């Protein structure tokens, strides 16, 4: 997607906030623990390479991504740290991953059996992390027999595989009810006991577990949404540390007009003025990730909340103004404006979703501007 560098609309990423958030967590780690920065999905919309550089400066010793191409992008940018692909990968790409020193999540024996002869043919070794499905129902081994079979297969094919890690992912580490978390950690420990030896890395803590379940163990954590300054539980649990949001979204008023009572606004005429009013147009829309369901939400202009009226268009939306602001006046969708703030959590609450989705939706048409 072409970035819109000739319009006034941008996401501002505070790299200083990301560095501060990582440093805070580094100070909370147990002795010997490492921090892997989760930079998948373009670092949750913040920009993968810039965030990875900042996280490394702050102490991260590895990175987690979701797909092969994200791992390749880190390698091409010169990162030589551990890069773990957390998603399911086709076995026929095993050689590509090995050639680029990418570690890979493995959740079934079939992957190992298919990849082994391909790796042997090119005399390559692939670093693998066995995924344990303890209750997410997504990927991973679910019983001791299969874990033992995978470990045995790796042991029998040491010329093709390096047994580098084991991990799981929690479904409810960010909730007040800890019962399912306890079920998962118990299951993980059971599956772990099926191994004859532990690999170099045992990582169970995501951001939520790192915040509220430091007793879950492991010698590495996968630090995701909290690195970006957001609470993984939304509003349910209070964070034990004061992290700082790193993402702001800003644009401007490109048109301001006074329209008469009875005027319809936007597609479908879903909003009709009940009085004469000033209407401003903002050059952002659902193609930029500010989705149609944000109709009726608010933005900040000169420290005042202004409602979004009418449907969000593909490239623009309209707001009702308290007065005739000048064209070019800054519009804040996420972030601080005057003495008021709109957070990604506020936007998520309105959209009945999570702040992860709000940030990941902001498309590459919106340039990222980096501040340190």
**Residues taking part in catalysis:** 40, 267
Question: Angle between the 48-58 and 68-76 helix axes, to the nearest 10 degrees?
Answer: 70
Q: Is 26 marked within a binding site? A: no
* DSSP letter, residue 254: S
Q: Is 222 marked within a binding site? A: no
- Report the Cα 229 to chain-centroid distance in Å: 11
Contact 115, 150 (CB under 8 A): no
CB neighbourhood size of 236 (10 A): 11
Instruction: Give the span between the Cα atoms of 307 and 322, in whole angstroms.
Output: 10
The helix/strand count (H/E) of the chain reads as 11, 20
Q: Give how far Cα 316 sits from Cα of 9, 156, 255, 273, 322, Å.
A: 11, 59, 11, 19, 20
Would the CA dihedral through 70, 75, 77, 82 be positive or negative?
A: positive
Question: Can you name the residues that pair with 11 across neighbouring β-strands?
Answer: 249, 368
C-alpha Rg value of the chain to the nearest Å: 24
Instruction: Give the span between the Cα atoms of 110 and 324, in whole angstroms.
Output: 65
Annotated binding-site residue numbers for substrate:
138, 314
Annotated binding-site residue numbers:
138, 314
């Amino acid at each position: 997607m072409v970035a819109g560098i000739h319009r006034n609309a941008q996401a501002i990423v505070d790299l200083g906030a990301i560095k501060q958030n990582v440093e805070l967590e580094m100070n909370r780690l147990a002795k010997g623990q490492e921090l892997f920065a989760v930079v998948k999905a373009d670092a949750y919309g913040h920009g993968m390479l810039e965030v990875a550089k900042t996280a490394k400066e702050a102490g991260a010793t590895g990175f987690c991504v979701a797909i092969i191409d994200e791992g390749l992008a880190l390698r091409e940018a010169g990162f030589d740290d551990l890069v773990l692909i957390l998603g399911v990968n086709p076995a026929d790409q095993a050689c590509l991953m090995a050639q680029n020193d990418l570690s890979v999540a493995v959740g079934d024996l079939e992957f190992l059996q298919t990849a082994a002869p391909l790796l042997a043919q090119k005399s390559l070794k692939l670093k693998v992390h066995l995924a344990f499905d303890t209750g997410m129902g997504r990927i991973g081994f679910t019983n001791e027999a299969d874990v033992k079979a995978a470990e045995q297969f790796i042991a029998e094919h040491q010329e093709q595989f390096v047994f580098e890690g084991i991990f799981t992912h929690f479904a409810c580490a960010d909730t007040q009810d800890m019962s399912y978390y306890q079920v998962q950690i118990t299951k993980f420990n059971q599956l772990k006991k099926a191994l004859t030896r532990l690999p170099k890395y045992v990582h169970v803590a995501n951001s939520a577990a790192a915040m509220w379940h430091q007793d879950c163990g492991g010698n590495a954590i996968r630090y995701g949404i909290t690195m970006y300054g957001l609470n993984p539980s939304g509003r349910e649990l209070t964070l034990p540390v004061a992290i700082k949001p790193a993402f702001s979204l800003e644009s401007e008023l490109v048109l301001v007009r006074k329209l008469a009572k009875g005027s319809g606004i936007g597609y479908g005429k879903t909003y009709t003025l009940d009085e004469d009013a000033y209407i401003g147009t903002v050059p952002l829309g659902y193609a930029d990730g500010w989705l149609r369901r944000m109709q009726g939400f608010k933005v900040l202009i000169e420290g005042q909340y202004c409602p979004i009226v009418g449907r969000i268009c593909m490239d623009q939306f309209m707001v009702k103004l308290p007065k005739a602001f000048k064209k070019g006046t800054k519009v804040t969708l996420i972030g601080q404006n005057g003495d008021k703030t709109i957070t990604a959590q506020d936007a998520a609450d309105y959209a009945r979703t999570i702040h992860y989705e709000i940030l990941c939706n902001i498309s590459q048409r919106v340039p990222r501007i980096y501040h340190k």
